[in-house]
């Protein structure tokens, strides 16, 4: 499996003559994480899940996925 950056480049080529409104979202560069997490909490969402951009996609759980939870979300109060 190819890393995300290569898969996105391949998809961009495949969609060269794409219909209007279909696009490949660009990578966000820089330290976006803290601001994105604050916005997530402000919208009262449960949290974020992210993955290292340089790792290939793998379905299911993997050490390359990271879950960051909003500790004030009601889901944090559920009994497990």
Each residue's pLDDT, cut to its tens digit, for the chain (80 residues) gives 777 778 888 888 888 877 777 777 776 666 778 888 999 999 999 998 887 777 777 778 888 888 889 998 888 887 55
Residues 40, 47 contacting (CB under 8 angstroms)? yes
Has this prediction a pTM greater than 0.75? no
C-alpha 4/C-alpha 15 separation (Å) is 16
């Amino acid at each position: 499996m190819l890393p995300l950056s290569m898969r996105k480049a391949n998809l961009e080529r495949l969609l060269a003559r794409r219909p209007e409104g279909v696009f490949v979202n660009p990578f966000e560069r820089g330290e976006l994480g803290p601001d994105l997490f604050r916005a997530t909490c402000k919208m009262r969402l449960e949290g974020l899940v992210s993955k290292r951009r340089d790792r290939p996609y793998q379905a299911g759980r993997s050490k390359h996925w990271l879950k960051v939870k909003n500790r004030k979300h009601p889901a944090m109060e559920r009994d497990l």
